[in-house]
Amino acid sequence: MWRRFAHLSLSISRTKLQSLVRDPTVLKLINTFSSDAGNDGVASSRKPFITFVLGGPGSGKGTQCEKIASIFGFAHLSAGELLREEMSSPSENGELIRNVIKEGKIVPSAITISLIKRAINSATSDKILIDGFPRSEENRIAFEKIIGVEPDLVIFFECPEEEMVKRILGRNQGRIDDNMETIRKRLKVFEDLNMPVVEHYSSKGKVHKITATGTVDEIFERVRQVFASLRYLKACLSF
């Protein structure tokens, strides 16, 4: 399986996505990333242990990912951050992504996945946390088809809606969408799109649900127990 992972290619998506997406800007973006991503694979000696980290807005998954990365030596990859970094770059790819978003379109899964792949290639750790991805079944299917593997582990932070609303309102980060109406909408979108992904991996026994209430340290203790209980990790990774 890992040999297959070592020679991944994103060339699969170009023809198929072109038949699905007709917008010239989006097509140019897909072509650019497909070409770039096909040129370099994950080194054959590497055997990444991939963990998806999922949870609603305000569930605290970003904070917990930072602690997991620090304590257990994982590389923390945030799909949203990778897109924002690419958007802010002066590169042609960044400009194309900005144009897609400016026009109210959704960045195709193949592009986000190509950024994740690039980040995996440059990571110094073979233990990878992918934070906030996949966001939907379409994302999940595209990741598995393009990358050629499933995650080894899925962490899902379960948090009551009222607690997530409270945390988002308390962030005070100046986000224009952090008001009650839009927060409720974001949570509904998360439930509609993300929960099928959680259910899919639950059926395969890959999901560990974490109760995301209490202090940061209390929540992390639950997370720590999950990783500590995975004895096979200790046999094949340097925990």
Quote the domain boundaries for residue 107: 46-227
Give the per-residue pLDDT at 231: 52
Q: With respect to residue 238, please indicate whether it lies within any of the assigned structural domains.
A: no
Q: Do the annotations mark residue 184 as ligand-binding?
A: no
Q: Do the annotations mark residue 118 as ligand-binding?
A: no
Q: Do the annotations mark residue 140 as ligand-binding?
A: no
Q: Which residues 6+ apart lie within 8 Å of 227 measured at CB? A: 68, 72, 233, 239
Q: Hey, what's the torsion of the CAs at 229, 77, 121, 149, to 10 degrees?
A: 60
CATH of the domain at 73: 3.40.50.300
What is the number of domains present in the chain?
1
Q: With respect to residue 55, please indicate whether it lies within any of the assigned structural domains.
A: yes
Q: With respect to residue 122, please indicate whether it lies within any of the assigned structural domains.
A: yes
Q: Do the annotations mark residue 41 as ligand-binding?
A: no
Is residue 126 within 8 A of residue 48, CB to CB? The reply is yes
Give the per-residue pLDDT at 47: 76
131-161 pLDDT per residue, tens = 999 999 999 999 999 888 899 999 999 999 9
Q: With respect to residue 18, please indicate whether it lies within any of the assigned structural domains.
A: no
Q: Do the annotations mark residue 107 as ligand-binding?
A: yes
pTM, two decimal places? 0.74
pLDDT by position in tens, the chain (length 239): 433 333 333 333 444 444 444 555 445 454 554 445 444 445 445 678 999 999 999 999 999 999 999 999 999 999 889 988 988 888 777 888 888 877 777 788 888 898 999 999 899 999 999 999 999 999 999 999 988 889 999 999 999 998 999 888 887 554 555 578 888 888 998 999 999 999 999 999 999 999 999 999 999 999 999 988 775 455 555 55
Q: Do the annotations mark residue 135 as ligand-binding?
A: yes
Q: With respect to residue 112, please indicate whether it lies within any of the assigned structural domains.
A: yes
Give the per-residue pLDDT at 101: 78
Q: With respect to residue 159, please indicate whether it lies within any of the assigned structural domains.
A: yes
Q: Which residues 6+ apart lie within 8 Å of 205 measured at CB? A: none
Q: Do the annotations mark residue 165 as ligand-binding?
A: no
Residue 185 and residue 239: Cα distance in Å, rounded? 39
Q: Do the annotations mark residue 141 as ligand-binding?
A: no
15: amino acid identity, one letter: T
Q: With respect to residue 10, please indicate whether it lies within any of the assigned structural domains.
A: no
Q: With respect to residue 233, please indicate whether it lies within any of the assigned structural domains.
A: no
Is residue 25 within 8 A of residue 96, CB to CB? The reply is yes
Give the per-residue pLDDT at 45: 55
Q: Do the annotations mark residue 98 as ligand-binding?
A: no
